[in-house]
Structure formats: structure tokens, C-alpha cells
Structure 1
Amino acid sequence: MSFERPTLKEIVERLDGDTQSRLSVPQMRRSNAKVFDRVLAGAVHSLYGYIEYLNRQQFFDTAESDYLDRWASIYGLTRKQATKASGQVIIKFSGELVNVPEGTILQSDDGIQYKTVGPVDSSGITEIEALVDGTSGNQLEEDVLTLVSPIVGVYSEATIIKLGGGSEAESDDSLRGRLLSRVRETPHGGTSSDYVQWALEVPGVTRAWCFPKESGEGSVTVRFVCDGMDEIIPDKAMLDKVFEHIDKLRPVTAHLYVSPPEIRPVNITIAGLLPDDADVRAAVKQELKDLFAREGAPGQRIYLSHIRAAISAALGEEDHSVVSPTSDPIPDGNSQLLTLGEITWQ
């Protein structure tokens, strides 16, 4: 029989009964014994909670935090740590080239700071790195950073050439998924599942797929996305990271290609949503996002019946009709990934 944690009310009733069974006369309404029973019940209820927590840590699919890290380490997996964004900027000078000290601080409009990590070349290009970990350090090309402290002969604004690669620390759900995949699919020295697991080991990568022989005999193409970033399509910095990581682990005879999938948004028109309010619409949108993240893969169709089922699963939804699409959305080739596009409400 499985363990069931008693409620606080059940524990109080048990203790009241035990106390009464040991007394020769009924307890008074305001008896001190009743107070003691409730104090003890609170402590016992906390102990039951801790036992329940420890019980969850015994299994891969329910373990969390430090216990999950311990289970993962047994199978050679470690939690992916947050990484800093890095890239290049162009610094302009009012006259001749001026020495810009390494460690010079620049700042974006949203307050994220960066430091130079190398010298400025003759073209005014220098390497920079974010001072904080995470995706907040990623910026778009041609955005502008500003010098925190002015330097004589140097313009205050620097233009970004590229600035990316920052990622958040891996969540429990992500690490648990990799651990379960590692247990279920034992490494075999270069199978398709091995390439997927290798790609997922890189910080920032959330989903990956492998396509053997796509570019000829002996070739392996890996595609991946970074759902935790503003743009799920990986930039060149992320592509290089994944290639370098897999290149050290792959069989020497394999020809490795790492490329981003081509995104194809699927627009959905929903009519007659009942009830049609902001909360239900938000729940429907979240269910559809989860569906495309769960079932979307390069070259993989999304079944129309699954779209309808996802909408029906939204909290509070009672009825709806899908106007479009009218058939299963199907990607054009193995490089195309279906994602949720615009939702139109009628």
C-alpha cells in the first residue's frame, strides 16, 4: 500500500482520541490537553511533510534541486550553469587611435554592463563580455553601448557587431529530462541519440535533433533551438559552441554539420471560444505554446487534432471551433520547424 500523508486535521483528531482514551473523565472544552494535542500535531505534520519530500528524492522523475544534481552526477551529467554573453563592438575615435584599457566598462540602454577583454585593433574592433550571467546580456547587432567613464579622444557610443551566447542556469525540469534520456538511451558511441544528448549538454540549448546522412554518407547534421532566449534560433556564437562541444566527442569518421532550423510560424484562427475572456485566451495560448514546444521538430507535422485537443485542455475553456488551419501543418523538409504564430480570435 502506498504512503499517504495524513492531513493536519486527521492528526489532531488522532491525538485527541489517544489523549481521551487515557483519561478517566471526559476532557473539558478548554482543556490544556487539547492545546498540547494541537501543538504536537503541528510538529508531527511537519515531519510527515519532510518524509514526503525525501520520498520524492528517491526517484529520477520527482527528485529536485541538490538531490537531482546528485542523481545526475552518478550518470556523468552536470547541471548547465549560466553563461555570460560575449561578442564584439566597434569603438570610434575623434582623431588618431587611442588606447582603450582592457576592462573598460560599457553599458546598454537597459542597464546591462560589459567590459572589454582585449585590445582594440586598427579598425576599432574589440572583444567584450557581459558582467552578469544570463540571457539579459544578449543584444541585437547594430545596437549601441555607451562608455560608463569618458575617455579622451574616444566617442561615447560603441556599435555592436555581435553579442550573444548568454544563457540562464539549467532548470530542474531540463536536467531531469536529460537524466531520464540518459538512463533510457544508453550512449552507444555515436548513435543519433548520442548527438542529441551531446548538443543538450551545452548551456542554453533546450531542444536538439539529429539527421544522419543528410549531407551524404558519413555525415551527421545537428539542429537545435534555445527556448530560454528571446530568439530561439541560435546565433553564430551558439552554433560554434555546440559544434566545438560535439566535435570533441563524436566518432572521428563522422562529418559533423551544426545548423539552425528554419522557423515557420503556424497562424491559428479560433472562433466561438467559450467563455471568451482574457484569462481563457491566455490559457489557450499557453497550451498551444506547450504543444508546439513538445511536438515540434524539424520536418515533423503538428496534427490538427492535437491543436484542437490543446485548446480544449486550456483551463476554463468550454467550447471552441478551429477555423484555420483546416489540415495538419506540415514542414517543407527536415530543416523547417513549425512554431506557434499569431492567434486570431473570431
Structure 2
Amino acid sequence: MPFARPTLSQLLTQIEQDIASGLQGSDPLLRFANLNITGTALANLVNLHYGYLDWISKQSVPITSEDEYLEGWAALKNVFRKAATQATGTVSFPGTNGVDLPSGTLITRSDRVELTTTSDAVVAGSVVTAPAIVNADPTGLTGAFGNCSAGVVMNLGTSISGIQSSGTAATAFTGGADIETDDSLMTRMLQAYQNQPQGGALQDYIEWALAISGVTRAWVNPSGFGPGTVVVYTMFDSAEAAHGGFPQGTNGVATGETRGIPTAAGDQLAVANGIYANQPVTALVWSYAPTQNVINFTINGISGASAATKAAINAAIDSVFLQYGSPVPAQSGSVALSLIESEIAAISGTQGFVITSPTTNIANVLGQLPVRGTVSYT
């Protein structure tokens, strides 16, 4: 039988009754009586003690633990909080042939985010291209702010003779991720408790992928490219939010793979390299980014819906796709249209709506993720 924690009002009543019975003739109910004030203070202290005991009880089991206690429970299953990581990419500047751009040069992005070049580069063909990394957040909490698309304006932090001060990101900056949240760590920890490692089972690949900074969802297609191959699809919903959560890079295999297969790049390479150290030696693992399967909607009956209601409908559709969309249909089936309808029906101001397109459940397609396209109201 669960313990029923007394409320503050119940504690106050109990203490007043104890004072009245222990001191005959006293009246602890008088508002400004010393006994009333003492009883109220005591009830508040006891209530705090109950609250502390509640908090202790939550930290005593994995499923309700928080912060460092959650990290402790997760560590028992070799699951650790993913640290913030910094985005990397390349920058380019016009210049005079032969001029050196030193390693450690400070670069400032157009939004004032600072980067540092990581190796020397020399101007050739009137352009210098150098690898760079976004400077770390001193608190160690964020990193996704460093991701950006190719072509973003970059400026030299200090002038260098023979190199123009204004340039661009030659490639997209990827790999930046914030420190893992408690909810994400909790999910991975519970998966580890519920699924014992089996030396390369499907669930093992999912756990290995989810342990990589920035990865929020993962799916596995065994024998995706024939016997002995494993295709791992991943999403970076927070780190690549500017791209809809889709990884930015090139599909392929890990750097250490020696079987003549194209090496991945960007986010896909981070996943491939992260899995490579754990995978069975006979497996050929491909790291893949899903492609978008854009689904347009037509909704009848609520053409006068407010902007807030329409925004809530968009969020409802996105939520269903986030939970049930999968690039491996053999393991997930389709996204039931009724799930989207029930989410929309729960939104105030949507009474009488009818989804006229699509008219059937939304099939998950191999290698693709369903995403919301346009939502039209008639």
C-alpha cells in the first residue's frame, strides 16, 4: 500500500490538536497566539522534511532519478550523459597565392559566433580553404549554436596581409550538439536496463547510435545492402534543427573501414565512427541520413481557424510523425491517420474538422521519413 503523504493543512491541524490536548486550557487556534505561531512554524518544517524524503525516494530508483543521481544509475549500465560537442567545417577566403593562413586564426561568423582554424592552409588558386572548429561554450552546456550551412559569411578576427578579411563557410558546419537532457539520458538508460547487450543485435546498434552526441533517433535496417551489411539511419533533431533534424554530410562507412567503401562525412561520419568501435568485426555498417517524404494536408471545416490554432495543428502533425515515422517500414508499419486526427481533435477550436487529404494511413517508405508539408484549409 503506498504511503499517503499528509498535506500542510493536515499537519497544521494535527499539531494544533496535539498542543490543545497537551496543554489543557490553551487555545492554539487564536491567530496571534504564541502557540498558534509555534504550531504553524513546526508544521512548515515537518512539511519540508516530508518533501525532502519524497525527493530522496525518487533518487533511490532509476526511473525517477534526476541530475547526478540519474547519471549514477545510468553509469551502472555503461550509459553516460552525452557532452556538448562543437561544430566543425571549413572556411574559405580570397587571397594572394602563397600566403599562409595560420592554424589558430580567429574567425568571426556573421552572427558573432567565434571559430578557430585547426591547421595551416596556403592560398592556392586565389582562395585559401582551412578546417575550423566553433569555439566551445565555457559552461560546457551548448554546442548546437555552432551548426550552420555552407555559404554563411565569415570574417577574419585579425587582418592578414594578402588574405581578404571577408569569406564564407566552404562547407556546412556540423556536429555541434548541446549537453544531453535528463529526459534523453533517462530514455537511453531504461533501454539499457530493458535490453541486455547481445553482441550486435538490432537493439545494440540503436543504443550505440543513440550514445553519439547529437543523435536523437536511430533505426536499423539489417542486411540493407545485402548479407553482412547493416544500415543505420539517424536523426539530429536538436543539433540540426535548422535542417529539420536531418543529418548534414555524406552517407558511407567509418574512417577505419578498409573494404573499399566510400567513407562517410559530416554527421554521418560521426555516427559511423561511433559505432565502429563496438560493432562485430564481420559487419559492414553504413551510416545513412533519411530523406524527406513530404506529406501535404488538406483540412476541411475550420477555414476560419486562428493562427494559434493552425500552429497547434502543425505541432500536432509534427509530433505524430516524430513518434511514429520511420525509414525502416518493415519494423514500424505505417503512420495511422487516426493518430493525427485524435491529436488535432484535442486542440481547442478544431471542432468539425475533416482531413480530406491524405485519405489513408501514411506509409513509411524505406529510407524516408514523413514530414509535414503544406497544410491547406478549405
TM-score (norm 2): 0.85
Question: What do residues 243-264 of structure 1 show as CA deviations (whole Å, max 9, x unaligned)?
Answer: 1111121111111111111111
Q: Deviation of residue 325 (structure 1)?
A: 1.6
Please give the secondary structure, in 2, of the residue aligned with 1:292. helix
Give the Cα–Cα distance (whole angstroms) in 1 for the partners of residues 38 and 218 of structure 2.
57
Give the match for residue 253 of structure 2: none
**Does the alignment pair 1:289 with 2:298?**
no
How many angstroms apart in 1 are the aligned matches of 2:24 and 2:49?
31
Alignment of 1:234 onto 2:247: yes
Aligned residue number for residue 363 of structure 2: 330
Paired position in structure 2 for 1:312: 345
Aligned length: 344
**8 Å contact kept, 1:274–1:319:** no
Match of 2:257 in 1: none
User: What does residue range 114-133 of structure 1 map to in structure 2 within 5 Å?
Assistant: 114-123=115-124, 124-132=128-136, 133=142
1:211 aligns with 2:221: yes
> Is the 2:97–2:123 contact (alpha carbons within 8 Å) kept by the matching residues of 1?
no
Q: Does 1:98 align with 2:99?
A: yes
8 A Cα contact 1:5 1:49, kept in partner = no
Identity %: 31
Query: What do the CA deviations read for 1:8-56 (whole angstroms, capped 9, x no partner)?
Result: 2222222222212212114144211111111122222222112112222
Q: CA deviation at 1:57?
A: 1.9
Residues 10 and 340 (structure 1 numbering): CA distance in 2 closer, same or farther, change over 3 Å? farther
CA distance in 2, matches of 1:275, 1:57: 49
Counterpart Cα distance in 1 of 2:288 and 2:78: 27
Q: Pick from 130, 144, 166 the counterpart of residue 135 of structure 1.
A: 144
Q: 1:36 to 1:141 in 2, by over 3 A?
A: same
Closer, same or farther in 2 for the Cα pair 1:183/1:343, shift >3 Å? same
Q: 2:254 matched to which residue of 1? A: none
Matched AA of 2:130: T
Unpaired runs of 5+ residues, structure 1, are: none
Aligned 8 A contact 2:291 2:367 in 1: yes
Cα 1:137–1:317 shift into 2, 3 Å: same
- Once the two structures are TM-superposed, the CA of residue 280 in structure 1 deviates from its matched residue by 4.0
Query: Do the aligned partners of 2:271 and 2:287 also contact (CA within 8 Å) in 1?
Result: yes
CA distance in 1, matches of 2:58, 2:345: 31
Name the counterpart of 1:64. Answer: 66
Which whole-Å deviations, capped at 9, do the CAs of 1:139-163 have from their partners, x for residues lacking one?
1112220112222221011221221
Contact 1:283-1:315 at 8 Å conserved across structures = no
Show the counterpart of 1:181: 191
Mapped partners of 1:20, 1:321: distance in 2: 65
| CA deviations over 1:78-135 (Å, ceiling 9, x no partner) | 1001100111111221x34323232211111211110111101443111111013411
- Please show how residues 194-273 of structure 1 align to structure 2 within 5 Å: 194-228=204-238, 229=240, 230-231=242-243, 232-236=245-249, 237-273=266-302
Asked if structure 2 preserves the Cα contact closer than 8 Å seen for 1:268 and 1:344, the reply is yes
Paired residue secondary structure (1:146):
strand
Range 169-178 or range 38-47, more displaced: 38-47
Per the alignment, residue 37 of structure 2 pairs with 35
Note the C-alpha offset of 1:215: 0.7
Q: Is the 8 A contact 1:301 1:338 kept in 2?
A: no
Q: CA deviation at 1:275?
A: 9.9
